[in-house]
Structure 1
Amino acid sequence: MGLALCSLAAQAQEKPNFLIIQCDHLTQRVVGAYGQTQGYTQSIDEVASKGVVFSNAYVGCPLSQPSRAALWSGMMPHQTNVRSNSAEHINPRLPESTATLGSLFSQSGYEAVHFGKCHDMGSLRGFKHKDPVAKPFTDPNFPVNNDSFLDVGTCEDAVAYLSNPPEEPFICIADFLNPHNICGFVGENEGVHTDHPIPGELPPLPDNFEIENWNDLPSPYNIYAAVIDA
């Protein structure tokens, strides 16, 4: 999920500034702005209440890397050939001849900066990237891991940049790993966390949540079948 923001003052400029906030693993069904749940996403809901909500927006692929390559290049996975989360021995990097969001903005006189998670197979070309520094912390309510630690660094980097912006117009991406950390609720953290329950009811799982036969899925997803069988 991504949120693109520009200030009202910036809209009056010839070249407005842009901030894109990217979240990993966030589904529309749990965002209060879409009317299905309330109380979980107050900050996102506040931004949505002051802007425009797109109810018919779709990712290019339900896998992270193909989806990111599609988003930053404007091309579908069958065009980029980035079709899985695997590394370069399976997925080719986007060629230099492929236009990307970062290259187009840079060529138009923007400073293009990116903070946080990449996993893009070259589709972030044109952006100046800064790796986040992990900032460990503990949460008494929920288990956290290095994904969350890195998100603190990403947030601090983006805030520092926006607090002292350049003179030229800019496009800034704050790219977070969470709420991918839901994966931290398996293994030793598995179970219902009743000490600090989440208020209200979560939306129901989609009808296709339970997968009966992984082999019936397209080949990019079969890698997970091997992991589960192992």
Structure 2
Amino acid sequence: MFVKSLLALLLASSGMAFAAETRPNIVFFLVDDLGQRDIGCYGSTFYETPNVDRLAKEGARFTDAYAACPVCSPTRAAVQTGRWPQRTGVTDYIGAAMKPELWNRNTKLLPAPYSDRLAHDEVTMAEMLKDAGYATFFAGKWHLGPEGWWPEDQGYDHNLGGVDRGGPYGRGKYFVPYDNPRLPDGPDGEHLPDRLANETAKFIQANKDKPFFAFFSFYSVHTPLQARPDLEKKYEEKRSRLGLEAKWGMEDTRQVRLVQEHPVYSGMVEAMDQAVGKVMAKLDELGLAENTLVIFTSDNGGLSTSEGSPTSNLPLRGGKGWMYEGGIREPLVIRWPAVLKAGSVIGTPVCSPDYFVTAMDVAQGKTPSKVDGVSLLPLLRGTTLPERALYWHYPHYGNQGGAPASAIREGDWKLIEWYEEGKKELFNLRDDLGEQKDLAAAHPEKVAALSAKLASWKDEVGALMPIKNPAYDPAKPSGRAAGAPKGAKKKKKK
């Protein structure tokens, strides 16, 4: 309680910095493809996530937290740098066609070019914290460039598993052998999320006497869909006991899952939760929980329209790859017992670039020349943030059926601009969380105002645009159409 009392005195004056000896440790959990509604404390009644639910009970649950992009690599760049993806150049998942001339799908537009690596001159969260005296550690998925641009080249003292891949594509997939050049194989039967949790706990143990930053970036719950046999069996029995079965709707040309009941995906979610629990147990064991800032979030919405469509994001519309809420609204749980009131629920809209600035604030890190996020520390202290707009720009086609688009959210209003047809949709998220009622025709003045702000932001960040595809043939199948929407066996490396 001494630490908490000292911090309370320091925080009494908003202009007073943290004393060096009280700067918090930071543990960041970034889960891949986890939808907001995949967590018990966000309403899932099928998946079991007691450890994340405990984090929310002991900290704060954010209801309106967003990823910076509906696919992974751009969001990861935003988390690492505190900057909009458009400034870093990483605007699509790395592995997609990088230039318009490489595009071979029959779509109305050619996607914009993007960078396939996070540039070395970008200041990462690890570089900022290392400069502030923190030991730094990375475990899991990186997907921000080829060798030479991996975590150890971007400020992380240790890297366990972070390479160019977007998923666990070794022979054993989520089990040994991993075939990962930055993760030596463990014993037969070892499960990847448990291994990464063990490595994170070892790092915490070794650095318990100084400020540390552990970034646990799950490969879970990304495809390939593969669970521990015991957990898959558990959820098969649970599905049968509850009488659940798959139900489908449509999102444009794609089938979208309407019910959470996929046994394999459920097992993947629970294994992720168990890994979180193992790291939290190490903090408890070492007496570090009180002054450790824990952040838990995801990189994009749940996979509901492609590659087995294993989860449902309802009542949110769409999912990964889409500009609707199901593609960008994320779980965000933050725990910091020394500062944050347990059981808080925070409705302020926040986004991926904010985490860098928050870590910089609490660690007294040096400010890079340009960051776009804002510190969430006032919210953690129980006060407010100035109102602001949030923005998205995805000038690409993902693998999930979505199309090139931009969006802005300001207050309760959200505008989506779709580039294929030049259509604009307007939603009031307070009254219509599921984005079912387009209000653009009824509120032309709001459309005009938000469109102007969105256009100004795109200019400021140097957003690149898709262009017309001269080879598009409307008589041929669309490159946005679904392949086999119920085919859980089909995999795509993203």
- Mapped pair 1:131 → 2:160: yes
RMSD between superposed Cα atoms in Å: 3.8
Q: CA offset at residue 111 of structure 1?
A: 1.0
2:318 corresponds to which residue? 208
1:53 corresponds to which residue? 61
- Using the alignment, how far apart are the partners of 2:174 and 2:480 within structure 1? 24
- Using the alignment, how far apart are the partners of 1:33 and 1:42 within structure 2? 9
- Percent identity over the alignment is 23
Amino acid at match of 2:196: T
| Cα-to-partner distance string for 1:107-143 (whole Å, 9 max, x where unaligned) | 111111111211123485111232249xxxxxxxxxx
Q: Which has the larger displacement, 36-45 or 150-159?
A: 36-45
| Cα-to-partner distance string for 1:9-62 (whole Å, 9 max, x where unaligned) | 6x8443211111221111111212224537621110011100011111101111
Checking the alignment, whether the CA contact within 8 Å between 2:193 and 2:218 is kept in structure 1 is yes
Tell me: CA distance 1:55–1:104, structure 2 relative to 1, closer, same or farther (3 Å): same
Tell me: CA distance 1:39–1:89, structure 2 relative to 1, closer, same or farther (3 Å): closer
Q: Which among 200, 219, 224 is matched to residue 396 of structure 2?
A: 219
Number of positions where the alignment pairs a residue of Structure 1 with one of Structure 2: 201
- Mapped pair 1:146 → 2:173: yes
- Mapped pair 1:104 → 2:128: yes
Mapping 1:64-79, distance limit 5 Å: 64-79=72-87
Tell me: CA distance 1:57–1:167, structure 2 relative to 1, closer, same or farther (3 Å): same
2:491 corresponds to which residue? none
- Using the alignment, how far apart are the partners of 1:54 and 1:60 within structure 2? 16
Q: Which among 21, 24, 33 is matched to residue 16 of structure 1?
A: 24
Q: Which structure dedicates a bigger proportion of its chain to strand?
A: 2
- Using the alignment, how far apart are the partners of 1:223 and 1:209 within structure 2? 8
Q: CA offset at residue 64 of structure 1?
A: 1.2
- SS of the aligned residue for 1:56 comes to strand
Output the TM-score relative to the length of structure 1: 0.70
2:144 corresponds to which residue? 120
Q: Could you list the runs of 5+ residues in structure 2 that have no partner in the other structure? A: 8-20, 99-114, 163-171, 176-190, 228-232, 243-258, 261-311, 322-393, 402-478, 485-494
Output the TM-score relative to the length of structure 2: 0.35
Q: Which has the larger displacement, 124-133 or 162-171?
A: 124-133
Q: Could you list the runs of 5+ residues in structure 1 that have no partner in the other structure? A: 1-7, 134-144, 186-191, 212-216
- SS of the aligned residue for 1:53 comes to strand
Amino acid at match of 2:218: F
Tell me: CA distance 1:220–1:204, structure 2 relative to 1, closer, same or farther (3 Å): closer
2:38 corresponds to which residue? 30
Q: CA offset at residue 210 of structure 1?
A: 11
- Using the alignment, how far apart are the partners of 2:211 and 2:320 within structure 1? 47
Amino acid at match of 2:134: Y
**Deviation above 6 Å: which 4+ runs of structure 1?**
none
1:180 corresponds to which residue? 222
- SS of the aligned residue for 1:99 comes to coil
- Using the alignment, how far apart are the partners of 1:204 and 1:82 within structure 2? 26
- Using the alignment, how far apart are the partners of 1:209 and 1:57 within structure 2? 15
1:138 corresponds to which residue? none
